[in-house]
DNA sequence: CAGCAATCTCTTTTT
DNA sequence: GAGATTGCTG
């Protein structure tokens, strides 16, 4: 394989400084579009060219897709040697470490990874079993708390010691049992992958020394989105050679809700006083106007080190802003704009992307795209592996691989229906507990099987025999596809779907066929490990952004979060409304509002040449009409950068957030043809409060109005209160809210 | 126990 | 508005 000689002449001085940095801790603050991937890949190539063996380099990225791209780019520079670099997400790297050396802290190498659906099922189960099915203990909330504890490297015991108050005590008790259930099931959740890896390095001296010796260079991308356990892990692995390179941008920190802590970026320089700091502030992606507008938005954040990017791309086009009536009109404006540009030959479909705050917003756009035949690629929303039928099949496979996996067993024990109902399950549980055996073992006990009625007996026998046969196939190293086919057939899953002649069943069958294609591809891989375990791990750690092909000629639809790291010639940013973006959940908290603002910055800086921002006066949320004021982010953009979008109305001067008048609902000079929804005349109704206004409630105190809606002669006011109270929907006649 | 209808609830973002 | 969950009937 021919190797291109390393060429640093195309790099700017700061970039080449980062590439050539000899060793020791290095922090690269890389603004949006500043060529950071180029810097990382060139740096790694340089290290390899200078004699560092590829397998002694560890590079951690945020998504598998980023890792794959990076590997390919390095391959161009150094050839096949790139294959041996340890490269992947924190989670995939950890899974690999734990399979390799986890035994040192008692982790079975065949562990399965529980995704958040599995986690949720488990927590729900525990809550029910403990009779704690209270409103105050929502499974999601409990799980988030456990996750936060794990991110801070707090095990159940440590958490329990520090727990105070009703909620924390309850969580402490669930956390303990939750972890016990994971252990019993030979399963790790996402957070465990990190947590246990840190424990492995801390507690197993031999393993730590081996790994610290092994990795000469450690590089971490997207460092602003690292949580404490990830921070600790990177530090531990790099402790010996101290060649730790971290790359991040504090303005693009958007995963605070997942435990990421930008503060750790500051801490890096404290923990590594000798660290070199390099800032990349030349942007190679966007025009001046886009850059300046994005900066104008993010500049409002108080906790932020100011950094203004510059570009030599020139001013570029104005930023288009459009006010529309509803989300359907919004979608139509997008379609019209795209089709006009494509028709005139100025753009291809692949040049466009449509970004939004929440997945639910994609629907209106997708519908419009479908009816108007706009080719598009939707990512996110329901992931392929989150579909019911896929999860069911994966559950079968996981159970076959790991017979202790209780969550999976419970999922499919009666799917398709085989006469094992709630009563039978309770009986099986009791038998399992009494004899200290797993649920599956209990079901296999033929003497015990006699205690059930005929139908249930044959159900039990059928399922256990199927699992046993499949296990033998695994032992015989039969390809995954064949095992999957056997299960789909013999479980009766296929027959049940085929008998159901609905469109839904049809689509489920197609999805299952797609799953078979996935396993077939897996079986055909050239790589080493083709075991069922390896397949299942890939499934657990994959995200759908990983599969995005950027060169496909279709409009890309995704959430703002998914768009991080990507770029597009033209970007539409939808739903710039208070309560949508910024999201209603963020309105009550300054730090969350700052994160929303950064998210807006991320979205805007995805655009290379053109940026469109839209907001709707009326939007259906939770199947109900809401009148949201337009987003504060729009008002942060200097007027001289703004152009009104063709085909929309826009109030001039801008309506302020406190004034929202229904008479603004005129269609404007450009008629918008909305074929999807017939516009109904609006009731003449004046909301008692304006969105964003502060109000006080007798019991809850001061809160911020998120939305007002008419409800037959009364007003339903949604208010965000700080702290544990959260979002409340209140009837004005009853709650007697008062403006502050 | 299975199947269906009514009811309820929750929707931020994802490895 | 969709999904999951609960409740009722066969």
What is the spatial distance between Cα A118 and Cα A342, in angstroms, rounded to a whole number?
44
CA angle A58, A601, A582 (to 5 degrees): 115
Q: Half-sphere exposure of residue A257, counting CA atoms within 13 Å on the CB side?
A: 13
Q: Are strands A555-559 and A624-627 parallel, antiparallel or unpaired?
A: unpaired
What pLDDT does A124 receive?
Answer: 83
Write out residues whose CB is closer than 7 A to strand C.
A 124, 388, 620, 622-624
Q: Is the pLDDT of residue A201 over 70?
A: yes
pLDDT digits (tens, 9 = 90+) for A375-390: 988 887 667 777 888 8
- Residue A527 reports pLDDT greater than 90: no
Interatomic CA distance for residues A273 and A262, integer angstroms: 18
Q: Which residue is nearest to nucleotide B13 (CA to C1')?
A: A561
Distance CA A29, CA A8 (A): 19
Give tens-digit pLDDT for A686-732: 566 766 677 777 666 777 776 666 555 556 666 766 555 555 666 66
- How many residues can be counted in chain A? 740
Of A252 and A644, the one with more pLDDT: A252
pLDDT of residue A716: 64
Measured CA A255 to C1' B14 distance, in angstroms: 9
Cα–Cα distance measured from residue A409 to residue A89, given in angstroms and rounded to the nearest whole number: 29
Strand C: positions under 7 A of a protein C-beta atom: 1-2, 4-5
Query: Residues near A45 by Cβ (< 8 Å), separated by ≥ 6?
Result: A6, A74, A77, A78
Q: What are the distances in angstroms from CA A562 to CA A66, A367, A427, A653?
A: 12, 21, 45, 34
Query: A33-55 burial, b if ≥16 CB within 10 A, otherwise e?
Result: bbbbbbbbbbbbbbbbeeebebe
Determine the distance between A54 (CA) and B4 (C1') in angstroms. Answer: 60
A399 CA to B14 C1' distance (Å): 25
The whole-chain average pLDDT of chain A stands at: 85
CA–CA distance, A568 with A642 (Å, rounded to integer)? 20
- List Cα–Cα distances, A248 to A17, A85, A254, A266, in angstroms: 16, 21, 12, 11
Q: Which residue is nearest to nucleotide B3 (CA to C1')?
A: A417
Element (H, E) at A654: none
A382 CA to B14 C1' in angstroms comes to: 12
User: A617 with A664: CB under 8 angstroms?
Assistant: yes
Q: How far apart are CA A725 and CA A700, in angstroms?
A: 7
Nucleotide nearest to A88 (CA to C1'): B15
Alpha carbons within 13 angstroms on the beta-carbon side of residue A517 total 7
Distance A595 CA to B5 C1' (A): 43
3-state SS string for A29-80: EECCCCCHHHHHHHHHHHHHHCCCCHHHEEEEECCHHHHHHHHHHHHHHHHH
Give the Cβ contact number of residue A635 at 10 Å. Answer: 15
A209: part of which helix (H) or strand (E)?
A: helix A205-214
In this structure, what is the dihedral angle of CA atoms A180, A185, A191, A192, given to the nearest 10 degrees? Answer: 80
Q: Which residue has the higher pLDDT, A289 or A139?
A: A289
Task: Give, for A96, the enclosing helix (H) or strand (E).
Answer: helix A90-101
Paired tokens of A346:
């100025």
Nearest to A94 by CA among A229, A210, A275: A229
Q: Which range among A216-230, A286-300, A415-429, A655-669 shows the weakest confidence by mean pLDDT?
A: A655-669
Query: Does the pLDDT of residue A536 top 70, yes or no?
Result: yes
Q: Of the ranges A26-30, A129-133, A491-495, which one carries the lowest mean pLDDT score?
A: A129-133
Report the alpha-carbon distance of residue A148 to residue A194 in Å, rounded.
12
Positions of A marked catalytic: 36-37, 221-222, 252, 606
For the purposes of burial, counting CB atoms within 10 Å of the CB of A427, is it exposed (0-12), middle (13-18) or buried (19 or more)?
middle
Q: How far is the CA of A129 from the C1' of C8 (A)?
A: 25
Q: What confidence tens digit (pLDDT) does each residue in A230-258 have? A: 999 999 999 999 999 999 999 999 999 88
pLDDT of A497 strictly over 90: no
- CA separation for the pair A640, A405 (Å, rounded): 60
CB–CB of A660/A615 below 8 Å?
Answer: no
Task: Look up residue A36 and give its two tokens.
Answer: 């950071």
| Residue A694: predicted pLDDT | 73
Strand, coil or helix: what is A589?
coil
Q: Which residues pair with A621 in a beta bridge?
A: A624
- Predicted local confidence at residue A487, as pLDDT: 94
Q: How many CB atoms neighbour CB A551 within 10 A?
A: 5
User: Nearest nt (C1') to A677 (CA)?
Assistant: C1
- Its pTM stands at 0.83
pLDDT above 90 (res A633):
yes
Nucleotide nearest A360 (Cα, C1'): B11
Residue A126: band (very low, low, confident or very high) from pLDDT cuts 50, 70, 90 = confident
Q: Which residues contact A690 (CB under 8 A, 6 or more apart)?
A: A629, A657, A658, A659, A660, A705, A708
Model pLDDT, residue A276 = 95
Please answer whether residues A225 and A123 qualify as being in contact, where contact means their C-beta atoms are separated by less than 8 angstroms: no
pLDDT at A671: 30
Helix (H, G, I), strand (E, B) or coil at A244: strand
Mean pLDDT, residues A324-330: 90
Tokens at A291, concatenated: 């850059």
DSSP code, position A302: S
Report residue A290's pLDDT band, with 50, 70 and 90 as the boundaries.
very high
Tens of pLDDT, residues A428-466: 988 998 999 999 999 999 999 999 888 889 999 999 999
Residue A134: its pLDDT value, please?
60
Nucleotide nearest to A383 (CA to C1'): B14
> Is-contact A554 A375, C-beta < 8 A?
yes
pLDDT at position A649 is: 67
Question: What is the nearest nucleotide to A622, using C1' and CA?
Answer: C1
Average pLDDT over residues A540-546: 71
The set of strand B positions with any atom below 7 Å of a protein CB reads 1-3, 10-15
Q: Strands A738-739 and A694-697, how do they pair?
A: antiparallel
Q: Which two tokens stand for residue A8?
A: 């640093």
Higher pLDDT, A544 or A372: A372
Say if residues A536 and A112 touch (Cβ distance below 8 Å).
yes
Q: Which residues pair with A113 in a beta bridge?
A: A188
Amino acid A380 CA to nucleotide B15 C1' distance, rounded Å: 14
What does DSSP assign to residue A215? -
Token pair 């704690």 is found at A132
Report CA torsion sign: A135, A141, A146, A148. Answer: negative
Strands A568-573 and A352-356 come out as parallel
Helix (H) or strand (E) holding A153: none
């Amino acid at each position: 394989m021919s190797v291109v000689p390393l060429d640093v002449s195309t790099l700017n001085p700061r970039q080449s400084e980062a590439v050539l940095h000899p060793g020791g801790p290095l922090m690269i603050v890389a603004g949006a579009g500043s060529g950071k991937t180029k810097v990382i890949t060139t740096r790694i190539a340089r290290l390899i060219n200078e004699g560092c063996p590829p397998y002694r380099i560890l590079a951690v990225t945020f998504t598998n897709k980023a890792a794959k791209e990076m590997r390919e780019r390095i391959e161009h520079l150094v050839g096949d040697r790139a294959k041996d670099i340890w490269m992947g997400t924190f989670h995939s790297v950890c899974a690999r470490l734990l399979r390799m050396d986890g035994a040192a802290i008692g982790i079975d190498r065949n562990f399965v990874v529980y995704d958040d659906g599995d986690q949720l099922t488990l927590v729900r189960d525990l809550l029910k079993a403990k009779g704690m099915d209270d409103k105050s203990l929502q499974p999601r909330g409990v799980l988030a708390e456990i996750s936060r504890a794990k991110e801070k490297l707090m095990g159940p015991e440590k958490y329990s010691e520090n727990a105070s108050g009703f909620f924390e005590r309850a969580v402490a008790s669930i956390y303990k049992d939750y972890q016990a259930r994971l252990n019993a099931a030979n399963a790790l959740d996402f957070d465990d992958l990190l947590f246990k890896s840190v424990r492995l390095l801390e507690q197993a001296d031999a393993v730590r020394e081996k790994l610290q010796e092994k990795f000469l260079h450690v590089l971490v991308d997207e460092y602003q989105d690292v949580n404490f356990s990830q921070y600790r892990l990177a530090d531990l692995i790099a402790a010996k050679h101290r060649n730790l390179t971290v790359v991040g941008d504090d303005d693009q920190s958007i995963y605070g809700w997942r435990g990421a802590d930008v503060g750790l970026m500051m801490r890096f320089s404290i923990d590594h006083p000798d660290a070199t700091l390099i800032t990349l502030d030349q942007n190679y992606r966007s025009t001046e106007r886009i850059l300046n507008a994005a900066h104008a938005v993010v500049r409002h954040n108080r906790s932020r080190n100011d950094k203004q990017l510059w570009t030599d791309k020139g001013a570029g086009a104005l930023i288009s802003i459009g006010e529309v009536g509803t989300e359907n009109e919004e979608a139509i404006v997008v379609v019209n704009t795209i089709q006009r540009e494509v028709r005139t030959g100025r753009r291809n479909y692949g040049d466009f992307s449509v970004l939004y705050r929440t997945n639910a917003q994609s629907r209106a756009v997708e519908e419009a795209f479908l009816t108007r035949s706009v080719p598009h690629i939707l990512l996110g929303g329901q992931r392929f592996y989150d579909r019911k039928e896929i999860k069911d099949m994966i559950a079968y496979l996981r159970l076959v691989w790991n017979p202790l996996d209780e969550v999976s067993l419970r999922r499919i024990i009666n799917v398709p229906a085989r006469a094992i109902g709630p009563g039978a399950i309770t009986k099986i549980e009791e038998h399992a507990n009494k004899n200290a055996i797993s649920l599956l073992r209990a079901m296999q006990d033929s003497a015990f099987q006699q205690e059930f009625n005929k139908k249930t007996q044959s159900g039990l026998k059928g399922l256990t025999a199927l699992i046993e046969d499949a296990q033998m196939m695994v032992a015989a190293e039969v390809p995954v596809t064949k095992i999957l086919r056997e299960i789909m057939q013999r479980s009766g899953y296929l027959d049940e779907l085929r008998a159901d002649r609905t469109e839904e069943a049809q689509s489920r069958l197609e999805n299952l066929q797609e799953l078979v294609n996935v396993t077939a591809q897996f079986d055909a891989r050239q790589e080493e490990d083709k075991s069922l375990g390896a397949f299942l791990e890939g499934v657990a750690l994959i995200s759908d952004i990983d599969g995005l092909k950027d060169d496909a000629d279709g409009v890309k639809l995704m959430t703002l979060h998914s768009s991080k790291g990507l770029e597009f010639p033209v970007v539409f940013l939808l739903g710039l409304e208070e309560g949508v973006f910024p999201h209603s959940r963020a309105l009550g908290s300054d730090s969350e509002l700052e994160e929303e603002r950064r998210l807006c910055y991320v979205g805007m800086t995805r655009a290379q040449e053109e940026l469109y921002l839209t907001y709707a006066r009326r939007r259906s949320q939770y199947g109900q009409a809401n009148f949201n004021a337009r987003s504060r982010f729009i008002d942060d953009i200097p007027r001289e950068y703004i152009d009104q979008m063709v085909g929309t109305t826009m109030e001039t001067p801008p309506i302020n957030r406190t004034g929202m008048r229904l008479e603004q609902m005129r269609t404007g000079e450009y008629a918008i043809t909305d074929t999807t929804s017939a516009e109904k005349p609006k009731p003449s109704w004046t909301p008692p409060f304006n969105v964003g206004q502060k109000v006080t409630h007798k019991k809850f105190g001061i809160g911020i109005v998120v939305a007002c809606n008419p409800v037959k002669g009364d007003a339903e006011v949604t208010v965000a209160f700080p702290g544990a109270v959260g979002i409340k929907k209140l009837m004005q006649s009853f709650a007697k809210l008062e403006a502050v």
